[in-house]
Amino acid sequence: MNITSALQIQHRHCDQALAQAESAARSGQWADCFAATQAFCQQTEAHFMLEENDLFPAFEAATGMRNGPTQVMRGEHAQARELMQGLQEAATNQDTDDFTGCAETLLLLLQQHNMKEENILYPMCDRAIPDFAAQLE
């Protein structure tokens, strides 16, 4: 499995957890919403940390690109983290409107972010650091 395939799978798992959380919020199942929100945030944070601590530095070392696509992705991770904090607060407060608004904004951000990673950055990583894929298995 290459980097692109392995990390696309992680994206899909995170997407599923967010969808479960939003569905639970819309139906007023706050315990389920809170649990799914926590799962989503933990999975997403673990994914971000893998990228920021391992993948991006390996790519930057191999290519010399330090202010390119990885810098953009780090900025988008920061935006997502802010929205995840809002999502957790809305789940804690059992605020359906706030939760769904935050979830929809986060979903749009992550869809755009993931498209850039999956179609541009990850294929670049597959070419520049193909051996990194072994760390993802």
User: For the chain, which residues make up each domain, given as ranges?
Assistant: 3-129
- Assess whether pLDDT exceeds 90 at residue 67: no
- Assess whether pLDDT exceeds 90 at residue 21: yes
- What would the mean pLDDT of 74-91 be, rounded to a whole number? 97
Q: Diameter of the chain by CA atoms?
A: 49
Q: How many CA atoms, within 13 angstroms, populate the side-chain half-sphere of residue 70?
A: 21
pTM exceeds 0.85 for this model? yes
Which alpha helices (H) appear in 27-134, and where do they start and end?
A: 30-50, 56-63, 69-93, 96-116, 122-128
In terms of CATH architecture, what is 3-129?
Up-down Bundle (1.20)
Report CA torsion sign: 29, 20, 53, 83: negative
The answer to whether the CB of 36 falls within 8 A of the CB of 20 is: yes
